[in-house]
Structures are given as C-alpha cells and as structure tokens.
Amino acid sequence: MALPEGFVRVPITEQDPKVRAGNFEEVCLGYTDEEAVLEASRCLNCKKPMCVEGCPVRVNIPGFIEALKGGNIEESYSRLSACTALPAVCGRVCPQETQCESKCIRGIKGDAVAIGKLERYVADKARSLGMKPVVTAAPNGHKVAVIGSGPAGLTCAGDLARLGYDVTVFEALHEAGGVLTYGIPEFRLPKEKVVRPEVENIRSLGVKIETNVIVGKSVTIDQLMEDEGFEAVFIGSGAGLPMFMNIPGENAKGVFSANEFLTRNNLMKAFRDDSDTPIYRPARVAVVGGGNVAMDAARTALRLGSSVTIIYRRSEAELPARAEEVHHAREEGIVFEMLTNPVEILTNDDKFVRAIKCVRMELGEPDQSGRRRPVPVEGSEFEIETDAVIMALGTSPNPMLSSATPGLEINKRRCIIAEETTGKTSREGVYAGGDAVSGAATVILAMGAGKDAAAAIDEYIRLKRTNL
Amino acid sequence: MYLIKRKEMLHSTIFLMDIVAPRVAKNCQPGQFIILRVDADGERIPLTICDYNREEGTVTIVTQAMGASTHKLMALEEGAYVQDFVGPLGCPSDLVTGDIEEVRKKKILFVAGGLGTAPVYPQVKWLHEHGIEADVIIGAKTKDLIIYEDDMRKVCGNLYITTDDGSCGRHGLVTQVISDLIEKEGKHYDLCVSIGPMIMMKFCVLTTRKYDLPTIVSMNPIMVDGTGMCGACRLTVGGEVKFACIDGPEFDGFKVDFDEAMDRMKLYRTEEGRALLKFREGDTHHGGCGNCGGDK
Ligand SMILES: Cc1cc2nc3c(=O)[nH]c(=O)nc-3n(C[C@H](O)[C@H](O)[C@H](O)COP(=O)(O)OP(=O)(O)OC[C@H]3O[C@@H](n4cnc5c(N)ncnc54)[C@H](O)[C@@H]3O)c2cc1C
Ligand code: FES
C-alpha cells in the first residue's frame, strides 16, 4: 500500500546508471529549488529534535530546515555554517541513514526527512550565490598549528579561526582536503565544485594552509612550538597507511592498494587526459573488501573501463559500506562475490596478475565485533580470472609523526592516545582527533573530534593567559 | 611555488638544480629524498637529495631527462618555479645517524653508477666533514656521463673512475673494479654503499657478497605520495614487505629482492612511453603509428 503524501520523501534525480558508469560526473544531481522547499516542509520542527542527537557535530538541523521552508537561503546557510565547516561535503558523504535521519520522527511511519540532501542543497545554493561563512571574533594574536587538512583538521582550524586564533594548517600532500581530496572519488564528491570551495571558505575565515609540509619530517612539533611560536597543536593526520593481506603474489604487477589506485585517480587526476600520472586500466579488476573504500575503488575502475568484481569474505548483511553505495555499485554493473576470501594471486609468465585464487567462506560464531566470523569451507578453492587486484582492507595511522614526537603516546594500533571529549594527548598543548585517534572512521566523526578539540584548545590557551 | 635558484647542465640531458625550500634544507640529511611536481598537471617525481645549504635554504637535486615529466623539468630555467617540492622523505643514511665512532673504525667503499653519483656525494662529503675519507668508484657508460668528478675528488679518499667503453678511467663495469681493488690491489673494506640503477646495484651486491662485504643500497621504485600512504613503493627485503619511502630508501643489499623490484618498475612502461611521445610531439602526436597505442 502506498503511503500518503507527506510520508514519502521527495525523490531526487540521479544520473542514469548506464551513462554514469562511463563518466566521472556526480551520480546524484541534487534537489531543485522547488523540490528542496517541498522536502523541507516535511520537517515537523520537533521541540526536542532527535536528529540533532544523532549528529556528531550537533548541526542545528530543524533550524536550517525551518529557514529553508520559507525559501530563506541566507538564513538557512548562516544557521548551517555556524555548526559545520563542510556542509556540502557532509550532505554528500555522511551516513545519515544511521545518524540524524535514523532518529527522525518522520521515519517511524514513512521516510525520514532527507536531511543530508537538504544540507547539500543549502550548501550548494549558498555557494552559487557567493555566500561565505562569517567570522565572529576579532583576531586575538594567539597562534595554533593544525597538522593535516582532512575533515578533522579543517573543522578544528575553522572553529579556532572564528574564535580569533591565528591558525596555520600544515598538509603533507600538495592539495588540502585529506581523504576528501585523495580518497573519495569525483563522482561522489566533486573536487573543483565542492571540496575546493569548502576549503576556500575555511581560508576565508583567515586560516592559512601550508601544503607540502610533513610534520615530523619537514618540521617537528617541537620546532613549531619552540621556534615558530605556536602555543598549541592539533593533530588530524588521519589513518593513511594501507594494509595488505600478506598472501603469495601480492607484489605482482597489477596489485594495488585502494589508496594508491584512488590517489592516482583523485589527487593526481589520472583519469584526465592532461594528467601526467599513469593509471592501470585493464579489462578486468577484482577489488577485495566491502567498505566504502572498496566501493569507491570498484566504481572508479568501472569508470576507467574495466569490468569489476568485488570480493568480500562475509555476507551481504555485514557489508560495512553505506547501503546507498552498494546499491549504486550494483546498478552500475559491479559483480559481488560474497563469502569469498583470496588466498593467492596468480601471475602469468611476465609476472602480471592473471587470476585470484579464493576460497568460499561460511559464517560461524560471532566474533568480538558481534558479526559472525567467516570460516573457510575446506576444498572450496577456485579461481577468478582478473588482470588487476585492488586491496581495500582498511588503513591504520601513519607512525611518521608520532615517532618524531617524543612523549606523544600511541596505542598498539598506532593510534594516538587522546582524551575522548577534548582530544588532549600526553603532550602539553598537543591535541589530536579524527582517524589518527580512532582509526579509520567517518568524516563526521573526524569533524566532531576537530570541533571538540578546538573548544579544548581555546580553553587551554585562555587559562594559560590568565595564569600568566 | 619553489624557486629554481640555479641550474647547471652536467651533460646534454643531465642537469642540476638548486631549489629554494627552507624547511627541507633545514631538516634534511644525506640519504633522504624529496618529491617534486613540475606543474599543476605534473606527476610526483621522487629525487634523492644531492646537497643542501641550510643558510640559503636550498636543496640540490640532479636528474636526467628521461620521461615526459623530467623533460618538462629540464625545460625550466633559473628563476622559474616548480609547483611543489616536499621533503625530506625517507630515513637518513645509517652512516649519519649511527654512532660516529663505529663509523670511524670502518673502511668504506662507495659504488656510484651514473646518476647515482649525485646522491653518493652528500654522504661522502658528510663523512669528509667528520674526518672520514671514503673510497669511491664512479661508473658510467661513457666519459660524458660522468658527473660530480671534481666535487667528489675534493671530499673522498681514492677515486676510481670506470667507463663501459673505456673512454675515461678504467675500462669495464663497477663490479670489475670492486673485484680488482679487493683481489689485485690489496684493498680491504668493511662496508660498501652502492647507489645507481637497480641492475647495477643488483650486480654490485652479487659481487660484494663473494667478499662478505656488507652492502647498503638505495632503492628508487615507483612512488606516489612518498609518505607510506599508497604502497606503490613496496619491496621484498629479507622476505618481508617494506615500503621504500618510509622504511628506506636505504636497505641491506644482501636482503633485497632485486628481481622483483626491477620487474615492478615495468608496470607503467607503455603509459610512460606514450606520455613522453605526447610531450615531444605535442599536438602533432595523434597515435595511429601502430606502435605506441596512442590512438587507443
Ligand atoms: C576511499 C574512502 C572513502 C570514504 N568514504 C566515506 C564516506 O562516504 N563517508 C564518511 O563519512 N567517511 C568516508 N571515509 C572515511 C573518511 O574519509 C575519514 O574517516 C575522514 O576523512 C578522516 O578525517 P581526518 O581529518 O581524521 O583524516 P584525513 O582525511 O585522512 O586527513 C588527514 C590529512 O593529514 C595529512 N597528514 C598525515 N600526516 C601528516 C603529517 N605528518 N604532516 C602533515 N600532514 C599530514 C594527510 O595527508 C591528510 O591530508 C572514506 C575514506 C576513504 C579512504
Ligand atoms: S610511495 Fe606511497 S607508500 Fe611509498
């Protein structure tokens, strides 16, 4: 039985799967003005907005939607941008279905309000109208260094700049944005249209961004604090180190980490004719893993002209990727081999990948994560012919910075140890957050950590000032 | 943007550049490398640091125009800028970080092949500044391709030059010189450092192994980020996977799987050839010759 009007969300236009499989244009085309206002009108403006509880940065969701209902973009954007530095990004890549939208009262008897799509609409519209976030405080002259320009670093920098701090972000790569720039592909998160303008907005708050600086190599945290006058440091260096399976054949030609494949394509723009960076475009690609990274690598390979198989050791229900991404991948023609685990990569005489040897798995007892542990089915070995293998098995924090910073404590997983609510580390004046602390997680959690740390850094510097 | 303060042609295709990069110049050590991008569409090119001037904030690199990107770099003159320049990357040479007294006890032989002479120079110079004179073999295809000869002479102990065609110094490969020095000329060494093309390092190690002469090599595989993020640079060393950019670039030569490392270099060969043709021929390159696949 179809739900009555008001219970169903306003549908959004997407590029046709057959067409988009051959291009790098965005999949989702976003709401039109009328659609956005119509969808906004579904928001009940609850007295006790549960959606805000579901958001790690506590965006004023009913507030910005309320302004949108009346078509007041300026007010809507000003409410939104006061809470988040990256609304056009979050509107596109946040797992709203498990966060804000999962708490929406509308969701009990019908579809939740499309909060993410509305956030995206407001941010995109504001950008097209040339609106910028506003600075609230006068400069206070205190210097703070931020390491890494991913969502954690950018959020922390933006918040501190609003409070009047003199903030410099140091980024190892030649372009700011972290995973938003090097990892998440163009068709989900356009770089020129979305990421760069949001980074520019943060610059417009007075934040300086110095690219090509690897803290721990080009300069140390001690040098920043002792020689360059930074009173506090925030570490948002992410979890960029790729994992491999350590199976035979993994160093053959045609085996890549998802990070390498995505970096070549996104940061280095290898998909464009005018880029000097090469990328491997064979007829067949196998991607190992089931997270967002695996989906992104698979859909990128598809767009570069390969036919793609995703190999995942658990079943459909355990796929860690967002449902939307899996759905999009399927629509585009990506094949899934579930309950399958690689054991060896086979090569031809020239040591190029020829096939991947796998075993079938079945689900056994639940493991620590609560998910049923996959166990190999004996004698079930089989080969999947492929010309390339992309390993998307997860990443861990890079020890380059921690090993060059005496007194900065890390745990067994090489994550920086930091206080949950403040990001305070074992070093005075040094705070950390995002994937560098949690291990690979999400954009919004990294932003939440950046936000909390900004507040803690502000308090730390104020306290130091009054104690002087 | 990073200023090219000085450019010097060392040969028709080999050139040196001093590039202004104060943070790198301040913190770099011999053995480390940098990554640069010529322009906004450029690839990230890793190059070993060949010298540095902490006061002037410059870092010296030496390279040869081979692919499209290095040709683009060679086309830049003094006063021009490169888009990006990041470093220092990788670990410093063990010689400069280890116990200097231990190093002093050793008789060290450097084996430099072709362009590899440039990165050998700062190590030999560093040792010289610390009162240690190391012997150096420089090998090249032919006389014109010998670089850094005069600079090296000023900072090393004995300098042996050899060319494949005999046009300068001894006649033959560096491996022959190693054997001759040890077997015929009564030299004894405790440590060898070999930097050059992979094939040279491979054969160098095969030779030094015969004499139980521990040998350090500097690996230069395909790289992207240079910070441990992509794994393009992975090598097998002593049966374990290592990332050249963070675990290296210097490794124990006896443990490196050179055959695998050399094989991995071939991955993008056709793509690189295509890019070079495109660069050389500009708009006149449309493929269709049937050879390069540029039309595909
Ligand atoms: C392919 C892919 C797809 C994803 N898809 C989603 C998604 O759809 N939704 C979602 O919510 N999350 C997604 N994630 C996860 C999300 O991107 C991360 O959780 C988030 O970016 C973490 O932010 P961060 O600021 O902590 O670190 P990062 O974004 O990793 O940024 C860290 C930055 O620090 C820099 N850096 C590291 N070390 C140094 C140093 N020593 N000096 C200077 N700079 C340094 C790095 O170069 C990098 O730019 C995805 C991740 C990947 C890889
Ligand atoms: S170059 Fe990317 S990990 Fe070494």
Q: pLDDT tens-digit profile of B14-54?
A: 999 999 999 999 999 999 999 999 998 889 999 999 999 99
Give which of B19, B29, B33, B225 to mutate to test A binding, by max A Cβ within 10 Å. Answer: B225
Task: Say how many Å lie between the CA of residue A434 and the centre of ligand 1.
Answer: 8
A256 touches chain B (CB under 8 A): yes
**Which residue's structure tokens are 């990107």?**
B69
Output the six-digit token pair for A299.
């859909």
Q: pLDDT tens-digit profile of B210-268?
A: 999 999 999 999 999 999 999 999 999 999 999 999 998 999 999 999 999 999 988 88
- What is the reported pLDDT for B287? 39
From chain B, which residues contact A within 8 Å (Cβ)? 23-24, 26-27, 37, 41-44, 68-69, 72, 83-89, 224-225, 227-232, 234-236, 241, 246, 260, 263-264, 266-268, 271-272, 275
CA distance A258 to A394: 9
Residue type, position A395, single letter: T
As a whole number, the mean pLDDT across chain B is 88
From A256, which residue of chain B is nearest by alpha-carbon distance? B232
Q: For chain A, which residues make up each domain, given as ranges?
A: 17-128, 143-240+396-467, 244-393
Q: pLDDT tens-digit profile of B79-132?
A: 999 999 999 999 999 888 888 999 999 999 999 998 899 999 999 999 999 999
Give the homologous superfamily in CATH for domain A17-128: Alpha-helical ferredoxin (1.10.1060.10)
A240 vs B227: CB contact, 8 Å cut-off? Answer: yes
B87 vs A217: CB contact, 8 Å cut-off? Answer: yes
- What is the reported pLDDT for A133? 87
Q: Which residues of A touch B69 (CB under 8 A)?
A: 276
Q: pLDDT tens-digit profile of A180-234?
A: 999 999 999 999 999 999 999 999 999 999 999 999 999 999 999 999 999 999 9
Q: pLDDT tens-digit profile of B122-178?
A: 999 999 999 999 999 999 999 989 998 999 999 998 999 999 998 888 888 999 999
Residue type, position B1, single letter: M
Sorted by where each starts, the structural domains of chain B and their CATH numbers stand as 2-89 (2.40.30.10), 98-218 (3.40.50.80), 223-243+256-296 (no CATH)
Q: Which residues of B touch A259 (CB under 8 A)?
A: 229-231
Task: Say how many Å lie between the CA of residue B232 and the centre of ligand 2.
Answer: 5
Ligand 1 neighbours, Cβ below 6 Å, are A 93-95, 147-153, 170-173, 178-179, 183-184, 213-216, 236-238, 240, 262, 292-293, 296, 398, 400-401, 434-436, 440-444, 446
> What H or E segment, with its residue span, contains residue B111?
strand B108-113
**DSSP tally for chain B: helices H, then strands E:** 11, 17
A173 touches chain B (CB under 8 A): yes
End-to-end CA distance of chain A: 70
Q: How far is CA A383 from the centre of its chain?
A: 33
- What is the reported pLDDT for B92? 93
- Ligand 2: nearest atom to the Cα of B223: 1
Task: Examine the pLDDT at B273 and tell me if it is beyond 70.
Answer: no
Banded model confidence at residue B291, pLDDT cuts 50, 70, 90: very low
Banded model confidence at residue B284, pLDDT cuts 50, 70, 90: very low
Q: Which residues of A touch B231 (CB under 8 A)?
A: 242, 244, 256-257, 259-260
As a whole number, the mean pLDDT across chain A is 93
| Spans in chain A with pLDDT lower than 70 | 1-5, 468
Q: ipTM score of the complex?
A: 0.88
Task: Say how many Å lie between the CA of residue A26 and the centre of ligand 1.
Answer: 20
Write out residues 74-103 of A within 8 Å (CB-CB) of B: none
- What is the reported pLDDT for B277? 57
Same fold for the pair A17-128 and A244-393: no
- CATH code, residues A143-240+396-467: 3.50.50.60
- What is the reported pLDDT for B272? 59
Whether the upstream peptide bond of residue B88 has omega within 30° of 0, thus cis, is yes
Q: Which residues of B touch A253 (CB under 8 A)?
A: 263-264, 266-267
C-alpha separations of A107 from A44, A50, A98, A102, A116 in Å: 12, 11, 12, 7, 14
- CATH code, residues A244-393: 3.50.50.60
